[in-house]
Amino acid sequence: MERTESGTTYQRDPDRHLIEQIHRLSMADDLVDRIQAAKAEIADYRGRYDTDTPDELLVSDRTLTAEELSDVSHWRTAVRDLEYLRAAYRIQQAKRRTPSSSVETSVGDSDPASAQ
């Protein structure tokens, strides 16, 4: 929220939108299947273009066709989607490990994720 001479303006919090997206994904029953599909799509692009990332293809010396530029865009989206899906999976797993009653932690408790 920002106050200006003409009134108050509001901006959408991009972090909140991201968290809401990931939360919605975490409720999906087919999350593992969706992760595998995204990984397969990325592997397909890597094999097709013999490079590890869409940015490597974009900055290569070759002239890209419109279809290849479209693939770069879709590849980037697949990479982003995989990151979101993985985050959602972690949330889903944490929910399953957390009892439905309130979770209490003391000051001396350590984060189990940091032990890995």
Q: Which long-range contacts (CB under 8 A, 24 or more apart) does 3-11 make?
A: none
pLDDT tens for each residue of 18-27? 999 999 999 9
Asked if residue 71 has pLDDT above 80, the reply is: yes
pLDDT over 60 (residue 3): yes
One-letter amino acid of 35: I
Report helix, strand or coil for 98.
coil
pLDDT for the residue numbered 54: 97
pLDDT attached to residue 24: 95
Q: Average per-residue pLDDT in the chain?
A: 85
Task: Please check the confidence at residue 114 and state whether its pLDDT lies above 60.
Answer: no
Distance CA(90)–CA(85), nearest Å, equals 9
Express each pLDDT in 28-48 by its tens digit. Answer: 999 999 999 999 999 999 999
3-state secondary structure at position 94: helix
